[in-house]
């Protein structure tokens, strides 16, 4: 199994090398046939740093400085995005795997400043009364002003990181506040999750859960469940608060319990019989990477439980290899997953975030965990 995983890593590094030549300082995003160069996201959308994160991982694996040189070309684009571009809750996705990672790799002060500037911009979205980070939309817009989403649990590491970099507690306090609100309101009693939850933006009063990317309001979007498994585990790693680890563990149990026999989830765990049954390999990759970290966190006080979660993560990852296009030089992407609605129905797309989390999971499986979303060890 580990030999198979290492072979996949080697193939992905080769693909990264080819893609660097093809992309220049542009951002792969998604494409139905896996040809990202036909559909670049000019400003990085919400996914830009999953590509730069893959390049950073390639440097960590190989030690080849050309990957660092390549990352430098993106710096002006990330600076300009903060100055004039669209910003929302996904600043954590965009800057954790670029600014924070580049600072860790180079100790260059410009990357530290960029990371903190991005955290400042993200902090502007924090609603003190409701203790949540507003999801979509510009701050001057009233539309969806009181909405949070489960995805944002994976944006919180940028705020925790900013507190570590500056010594200012305000970033961490906002991240913890949002994690607490998400734990209280996005989770159902069985540890399944709503995708979104609405608050009254002025009073902070909770209004109710919804689901925009899942099948229905009371269904369970599998990628959202994966974001929660990983995201609550990250909040545990940054804060040491046991309730966050326990939440991650309960969500992981739900995820595993609802997997089909081939270990790769459908895009929603509560589909009716006549619904389109498409796989979301990216949900699997995100959950697997989170499971490895959760297993590590449980190893000291629950060794048998930790071993079981690690075994499940390895089994899921082995199943995911069967969906990989890492071996195919004609395809720049790696995993095709179920993405958003196209003409009223779900569709499969290659996505750069699925590719990133797959590589991250493979590296963890082979003993290389650089804690990209928590404190580097």
Q: At what angle do helices 2-23 and 303-321 cross, to 10 degrees?
A: 60
CA neighbor of 52 nearest in space, from 32, 87, 86, 81: 81
Task: Enter the DSSP assignment of 151.
Answer: G
Give the total residue count for the chain: 377
Residue 206: strand pairing partners = 199
| Side-chain half-sphere CA neighbours of 239 within 13 A | 25
Exposed e or buried b for every residue in 276-309, given b needs 16+ CB within 10 A? eebbbbbbbbbbbbbbbbbbbbbeeeeeeebeeb
Active-site entry in 64, 69, 120, 151: 151
With 0-12 / 13-18 / 19 or more C-beta atoms within 10 angstroms meaning exposed / middle / buried, residue 45 is: middle
Q: Does the annotation flag 353 for ligand binding? A: no
Q: Which residues pair with 193 in a beta bridge?
A: 187
Rounded to whole angstroms, the maximal C-alpha distance in the chain is: 55
**Active-site annotation holds for 151:** yes
Q: Beta strands of 21-178 (E only): which ranges?
A: 30-31, 126-127, 132-133, 147-149
Q: Are 255 and 265 in contact (CB under 8 A)?
A: yes
Here the tokens at position 277 are: 């049954």
The Cα 275–Cα 212 span in angstroms is 16
Map residue 358 onto helix, strand or coil: helix
Q: What are phi and psi of 282, to 5 degrees?
A: -70, -35
Choose, from 88, 90, 280, 293, the residue flagged as catalytic: 90
Buried b (16+ CB within 10 A) or exposed e, 223-233: bbbbbbbbbbb
Q: Is 355 annotated as a binding residue?
A: no
Three-state helix/strand/coil letters over 117-172:
HHHHHHHCCEECCCCEECCCCCCCCCCCCCEEEHHHHHCHHHHHHHHHHHCCHHHH
- Tell whether 151 is in a known binding site: yes
Asked about 296 being catalytic, the answer comes back as: no
- List the binding residues: 90, 151, 209, 223, 227
**Catalytic positions, written as ranges:** 90, 151
- List the binding residues for substrate: 90, 151, 209, 223, 227
């Amino acid at each position: 199994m580990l030999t198979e995983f290492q072979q996949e890593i080697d193939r992905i590094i080769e693909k990264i090398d080819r893609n660097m030549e093809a992309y220049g300082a542009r951002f792969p995003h998604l494409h139905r046939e896996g040809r990202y160069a036909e559909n670049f996201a000019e400003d990085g959308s919400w996914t830009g740093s999953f590509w730069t994160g893959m390049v950073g991982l390639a440097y960590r694996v190989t030690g080849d400085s050309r990957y660092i040189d390549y990352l430098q070309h993106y710096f002006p684009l990330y600076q300009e995005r903060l100055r004039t571009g669209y910003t929302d809750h996904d600043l954590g996705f965009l800057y954790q795997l670029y600014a924070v990672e580049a600072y860790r790799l180079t100790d260059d002060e410009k990357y530290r400043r960029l990371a903190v500037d991005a955290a400042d911009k993200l902090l502007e979205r924090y609603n003190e009364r409701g203790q949540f980070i507003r999801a979509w939309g510009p701050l001057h817009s009233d539309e969806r002003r009181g909405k949070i989403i489960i995805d944002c649990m994976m944006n919180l590491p940028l705020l925790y990181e900013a507190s570590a970099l500056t010594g200012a507690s305000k970033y961490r306090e906002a991240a913890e506040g949002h994690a607490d609100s998400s734990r209280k309101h996005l989770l159902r009693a069985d540890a399944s999750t709503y995708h979104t939850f609405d608050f009254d933006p002025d009073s902070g009063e909770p209004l109710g859960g919804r689901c925009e990317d899942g099948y229905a309001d009371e269904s369970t979007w599998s990628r959202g469940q994966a974001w929660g498994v990983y995201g609550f585990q990250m909040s545990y790693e940054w804060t040491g608060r046991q309730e966050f680890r326990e939440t991650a563990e309960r969500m992981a149990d739900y995820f595993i319990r609802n997997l089909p026999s081939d270990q790769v989830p459908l895009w929603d765990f509560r589909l009716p019989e006549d619904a389109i049954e498409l796989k979301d390999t990216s949900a699997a990759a995100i959950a697997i990477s989170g499971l490895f970290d959760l297993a590590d966190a449980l190893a000291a006080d629950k060794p048998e439980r930790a071993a079981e979660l690690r075994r499940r993560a390895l089994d899921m990852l082995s199943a995911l290899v069967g969906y990989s296009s890492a071996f195919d030089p004609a395809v720049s992407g790696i995993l095709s997953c179920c993405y958003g609605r196209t003409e009223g129905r779900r569709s499969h797309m290659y996505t750069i975030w699925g590719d990133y989390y797959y590589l991250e999971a493979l590296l963890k499986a082979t003993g290389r965990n650089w804690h990209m979303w928590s404190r580097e060890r």
